[in-house]
Amino acid sequence: MSGFPQPFSGKVALVTGAAGNIGLATANRLATMGADLVLLDLDPEKLEQARAALGEHDVRIHVHTCDVADSAQVHEVIDRVAAETGQIDFLFNNAGYQGAFAPVQDYPEADFTRVMHINVCGAFHVLKHVSRHMVARRYGRIVNTASMAGVQGPPNMAAYGASKFAIIGLTEVAAKDLAPYNIRVNAISPAFMGPGMMWDRQVALQARAGSQYFSSNPDEVARQMIGSIPMRRYGNIEEIPGVVAFLFGDDSSYMTGVNLPISGGI
């Protein structure tokens, strides 16, 4: 057990994309702060690995496989979670898919649709069905995972960039709709995060896509990306969970509809 204070004792936090790096790191931080966890992801094997990784914490952990792009499935799972736990206090609406890398004129239409279904429709489905339970209790704290790709559109990422612009807009609308019910809705926008698979994938695919913005050499692309960051380093995944916890906690009690960059100054 960690020495963190436990201000979230008695709270239930639902995390989507919980088996991924950001989801799991954030679930771990929330557990150290005393929150019981509900972990949602598409991959049952990785979900069980996530449960095992979090097993050192003295909190209840529920896991459910769920395709966030399927509204009926989300509705069923969220109702089941609410019945199991009696409450959903926090939602980290984090599931997402990065998609292909190609200039807009060549971007594959099927992949564009897939990114939108997961990143936008999926986030909306979860937000809608969780917020219904929060409205009934007149309490809730929601953090949506956007991206700096939704603040400054990146080259070769038409679907992902558009989807994250949409998440920021959805956050602002939902914050207004839910404010009368003591529900705060905010977003986070990570920039380049590493090391790991997502960093390596982005570097390799930007190099392969070909553009005036990046070299065709992945090593040079990595240097170019880091050179665009005022702090001259990529962010660590562990630099995200504390921001999410802040937005769930009382120290951000007068903040809603806000998008917080986690970007090293971009």
- Over residues 168-226, the pLDDT tens digits come to 999 999 999 999 999 999 999 999 999 888 899 999 999 999 899 999 999 999 999 99
Q: Which residues contact 248 (CB under 8 A, 6 or more apart)?
A: 8, 13, 30, 90, 141, 143
Please, what is the average pLDDT of the chain?
A: 96
SS3 88: coil
Q: What is the pTM of this model?
A: 0.96
107 is catalytic: no
Amino acid identity of 14? L
Phi first, then psi: what are they for 173, rounded to 5°? Answer: -65, -50
Which whole-number Å values give the CA distances from 19 to 46, 58, 92, in the listed order? 6, 19, 13
Assess contact for 122 and 69: CB atoms under 8 A. Answer: yes
5 pLDDT above the threshold of 60: yes
Beta bridge partners of 156: none
Structure tokens at 203: 């570097």
Domain regions of the chain by residue span: 12-191+236-256, 194-234
CATH number attached to the domain at 12-191+236-256: 3.40.50.720
SS3 176: helix
Quick: pLDDT tens for 147-161.
999 999 999 999 999
Phi first, then psi: what are they for 95, rounded to 5°? Answer: -60, 140
Choosing from 107, 160, 181, 213, which is the catalytic residue? 160
Rounded CA Rg of the chain: 18
